[in-house]
């Protein structure tokens, strides 16, 4: 979850570190810190964001070697003492860490028996002292990193400074993302490419168990077998990894208003010259499958529900959708010839990495990753990868990536059945999205004003509208902290209707002709118990008094066509409550811990 930066030999290390950490705040912002080597290792860290760190850091300093960290707390509460970087007991080694060390307590007990003292509650302080323990015996960092790698259980991306190596920044990686930026006369390291894009366009994705160091002119990487390896850099253009707000006040608003372009891009990439452009081997494996299993977390799980239902209806393929964090502990792969689709915006989701490890133990189960991040940990382990091409999504609450996931799953379904109408239906959603952006933001903002002071909100829908309700409810929870629930309309009478009270806001989606009549009955049920109902309906299904009316579209594409209504609503509520829209409390963008 945390964000890491590091540099050796760069001309403006302070600017690189601070600007880089600001770009990585989406990975966590409980605390931030920087360590650099001059005559000794200097540490500046505190709770709060990199903006606060910028204030307490000296305005200038000279160093060849710097590391930085922005934290999402796992072991230990957000506090100055738990902030990174952490120093070893002899203050000769400092490191920053993204991940979780599963055997930290056992290692801490061992180090205590060796006379080590601990000042924080973090697993990271255990790591830096264990590294020092090995280094004091070996007097060699290569040997020490090899020994450290063999002792640590869990996930880690480490950037390390040792006073005895003033020209080298060391790294070690397993299960958490870490990249090298290849420069001219300098080299960089970071959790993703964005902090480095201003300085280079060549990046090296480290693989699990890679370790080694970077210096001004050298990159030395060793694999899990201690072999020196030559990891080839990949070139990424700056625009694809840019964090430019482009005049918007918040990333979330910018990303909502990019949904139409994201859908257009998906269509242009995956359907060209009246032909679907998916890997023929991927389509063959999917067509031969007798069961398709979807796995995701949070928003990606909600996209899985949509994709599974589309596959069943349009392709007559049985599907099952699982929450990754649940499936991993009770794994079942249905069917005699299954196919597994994993969905992860970052490609680094720890729960899915755990699931993929289990799946790979089953012979001959083909896997597909749908992700927004090329070269990610998950992409290196699956049979096939299909990219969303949604562009960087900075706001913690996912918006355009969700719409892209649903659009891509629809295109994949169309390719399986060679159904050209799927493309026509998707193109129709672009007009609906644009109409919402141009005509409905004000009425959505008015609804936000009316519900912002309520403690509870309900969302109702059936079938695909229910799946959208789940995503709408999640977004409202994430960034406004209002308790929100989503229910299928028919389930109200089986318990949840007991929660309806006078004035309770209930937001209802009605876009499916098959279920519209039933949903209208559900509306009367909650109205009769005092609920304040806001109906979102398509024109052909609308009635007088409905709050928001949109043009008709293929109802199974609600997750593309009208998801922006849900996202705008959450955005405006959060804004009116005075919260940080892009950085909601307790959350991080990339969930790299289980």
| Backbone dihedral angles phi then psi of residue 224, each to the nearest 5 degrees | -65, -20
Cβ(520)–Cβ(491) below 8 Å: no
* CA atoms within 13 Å, Cβ hemisphere of 120: 26
Integer Cα distance of 397 and 284 in angstroms: 35
How many C-beta atoms lie closer than 10 Å to residue 277's C-beta?
A: 12
Cβ(338)–Cβ(311) below 8 Å: no
Closest CA to 526 of 456, 471, 442: 456
Bridge partners, 181 (sequence order): 188, 203
pLDDT of amino acid 590: 60
How many C-beta atoms lie closer than 10 Å to residue 239's C-beta?
A: 10
Closest CA to 465 of 574, 309, 569: 309
Per DSSP, the three-state class of 323 is strand
495: left (phi > 0), else alpha (psi -120 to 50), else beta? Answer: left
Q: Which fold has domain 441-584?
A: Rossmann fold (3.40.50)
Band of residue 79 on the pLDDT scale cut at 50, 70, 90: confident
**pLDDT of 133 over the 90 cut:** yes
Tokens of residue 11, six digits: 């001309």
Lowest mean pLDDT among 56-65, 396-405, 534-543, 546-555: 56-65
Residue in the structure block whose two tokens are 């089953």: 362
Its sign, for the CA torsion 512, 514, 515, 517, is: positive
2, 89, 297, 355: which is the annotated catalytic residue? 2
CB neighbour class for 294 (10 Å; exposed up to 12, middle 13-18, buried from 19): buried
Can you tell me the mean pLDDT for 488-513?
Answer: 93
Q: What digits encode the pLDDT tens for the residues 168-225?
A: 999 999 988 899 999 999 999 999 888 898 899 999 989 999 999 999 999 999 999 9
Greater model confidence, 194 or 287: 287
| Backbone dihedral angles phi then psi of residue 219, each to the nearest 5 degrees | -125, 120
Strands of the sheet containing 228-229, edge to edge, are 86-87, 93-101, 154-162, 169-174, 211-214, 219-222, 228-229
pLDDT of amino acid 589: 59
DSSP states of 359-393: HHTSTT--EEEEES-TT-TTTTTSSEEEE------
**pLDDT of 587 over the 90 cut:** no
Closest CA to 580 of 62, 25, 105, 199: 25
CATH 3.60.20.10 fits 3-241, yes or no: yes
Q: What digits encode the pLDDT tens for the residues 434-445?
A: 999 999 999 999
**Which residues make Cβ contacts (< 8 Å) with residue 273, sequence separation at least 6?**
none
**Which residues make Cβ contacts (< 8 Å) with residue 127, sequence separation at least 6?**
86, 95, 97, 101, 104, 148, 152, 156, 158
Average pLDDT of every residue of the chain? 93
How many C-beta atoms lie closer than 10 Å to residue 281's C-beta?
A: 11
**pLDDT of 242 over the 70 cut:** no
Give CA torsion, residues 6, 8, 10, 15, to 10 deg.
30
3-state SS, one letter per residue, for 14-69:
HHHHHHHHHHCHHHCCCEEEEEEECCCEEEEEEECCHHHHHHHCCCCCCCCEEEEE
pLDDT of amino acid 238: 61
**pLDDT of 592 over the 70 cut:** no
Q: Which CATH number is associated with domain 244-419? A: 3.40.50.10490
182, 452, 475, 589: which is the annotated catalytic residue? 589
**pLDDT of 2 over the 90 cut:** no
Per DSSP, the three-state class of 98 is strand
**Which residues make Cβ contacts (< 8 Å) with residue 514, sequence separation at least 6?**
463
Can you tell me the mean pLDDT for 578-590?
Answer: 82
CB neighbour class for 444 (10 Å; exposed up to 12, middle 13-18, buried from 19): buried
Integer Cα distance of 341 and 295 in angstroms: 6
Can you tell me the mean pLDDT for 397-420?
Answer: 96
CA angle 478, 479, 480 (to 5 degrees): 105
Q: What digits encode the pLDDT tens for the residues 354-401?
A: 999 999 987 789 999 999 988 788 988 999 999 999 988 889 899 999
3-state SS, one letter per residue, for 260-313:
HHHHHHHHHHHEECCEECCCHHHHHHHHHCCEEEEEECHHHHHHHHHHHHHHHH
Angle subtended by helix axes 400-417 and 280-288, to nearest 10: 70
Q: How far is CA 93 from the centre of its chain?
A: 31
**pLDDT of 406 over the 70 cut:** yes
| 2 is an active site residue | yes
Helix, strand, coil tally for the chain in percent (to 5): 40, 25, 35
Integer Cα distance of 79 and 323 in angstroms: 32
How many C-beta atoms lie closer than 10 Å to residue 274's C-beta?
A: 7
pLDDT of amino acid 364: 85
pLDDT of amino acid 303: 98
pLDDT of amino acid 28: 72
Integer Cα distance of 573 and 450 in angstroms: 9
User: What is the residue extent of each domain of the chain?
Assistant: 3-241, 244-419, 441-584
Same fold, 244-419 and 441-584: yes
């Amino acid at each position: 979850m945390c964000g890491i930066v590091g540099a050796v030999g760069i001309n403006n290390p302070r600017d690189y570190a601070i600007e880089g950490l600001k770009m990585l705040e989406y990975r966590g912002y409980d605390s931030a810190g920087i360590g650099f080597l001059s005559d000794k290792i200097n540490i500046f860290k505190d709770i709060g964001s990199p903006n606060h760190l910028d204030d307490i850091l000296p305005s200038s300093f000279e160093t060849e070697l710097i590391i930085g960290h922005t934290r999402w707390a796992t072991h230990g509460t957000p506090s100055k003492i738990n902030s990174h970087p952490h120093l070893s007991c002899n203050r000769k080694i400092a490191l920053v860490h993204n991940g979780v060390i599963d055997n930290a307590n056992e290692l801490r007990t061992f180090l205590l028996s060796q006379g080590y003292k601990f000042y924080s509650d973090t697993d990271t302080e255990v790591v830096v002292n264990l590294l020092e323990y090995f280094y004091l015996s070996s007097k060699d960092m290569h040997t020490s990193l090899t020994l450290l790698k063999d002792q640590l259980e869990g996930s880690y991306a480490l950037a390390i400074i040792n006073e005895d190596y003033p020209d080298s920044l060391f790294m070690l990686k397993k299960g958490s993302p870490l990249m090298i930026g290849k420069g001219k006369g300098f080299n960089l390291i970071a959790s993703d490419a964005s902090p480095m894009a201003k300085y280079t366009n060549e990046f090296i994705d480290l693989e699990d168990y890679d370790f080694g160091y970077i210096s001004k002119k050298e990159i030395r990487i060793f694999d899990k077998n201690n072999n020196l390896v030559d990891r080839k850099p990949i070139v990424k253009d700056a625009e694809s990894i840019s964090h430019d707000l482009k005049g918007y006040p918040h990333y979330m608003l910018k990303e909502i208003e990019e949904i139409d372009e994201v859908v257009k891009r998906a269509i242009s990439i995956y359907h060209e010259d009246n032909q679907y452009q998916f890997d023929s081997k991927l389509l063959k494996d999917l067509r031969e499958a007798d069961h398709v299993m979807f796995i995701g977390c949070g928003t990606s799980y909600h996209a899985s529900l949509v994709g599974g239902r589309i596959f069943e209806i349009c392709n007559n393929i049985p599907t099952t959708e699982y929450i990754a964090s649940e499936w991993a502990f009770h794994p079942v792969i249905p069917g005699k010839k299954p196919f597994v689709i994993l969905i992860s915006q970052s490609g680094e989701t720890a729960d899915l990495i755990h699931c993929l490890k289990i799946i790979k133990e089953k012979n001959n189960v083909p896997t597909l990753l749908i992700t927004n991040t090329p070269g990610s940990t998950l992409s290196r382990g699956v049979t096939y990868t299909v990219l969303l091409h949604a562009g960087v999504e900075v706001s913690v609450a996912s918006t355009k990536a969700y719409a892209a996931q649903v659009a891509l799953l629809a295109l994949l379904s169309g390719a399986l059945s060679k159904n050209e109408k799927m493309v026509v239906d998707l193109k129709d959603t672009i007009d609906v999205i644009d109409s919402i952006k141009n005509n409905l933001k004000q009425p959505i903002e008015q609804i936000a004003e009316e519900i912002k002071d309520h403690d509870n909100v309900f969302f109702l829908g059936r079938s695909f509208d229910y799946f959208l309700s789940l995503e709408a409810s999640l977004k409202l929870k994430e960034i406004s902290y209002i308790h929100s629930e989503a229910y299928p309309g028919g389930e109200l009478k089986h318990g949840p209707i007991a929660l309806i009270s006078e004035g309770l806001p209930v937001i209802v989606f009605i876009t499916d002709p098959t279920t519209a009549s039933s949903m209208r009955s559900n509306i009367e049920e909650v109205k009769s118990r005092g609920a304040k109902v806001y109906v979102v309906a398509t024109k052909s299904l609308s009635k007088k008094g409905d709050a928001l009316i949109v043009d008709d579209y293929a109802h199974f594409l609600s997750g593309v066509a009208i998801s922006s209504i849900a996202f705008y609503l959450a955005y405006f509520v959060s804004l009116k409550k005075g919260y940080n829209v892009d950085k909601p409390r307790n959350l991080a963008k990339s969930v790299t811990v289980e």
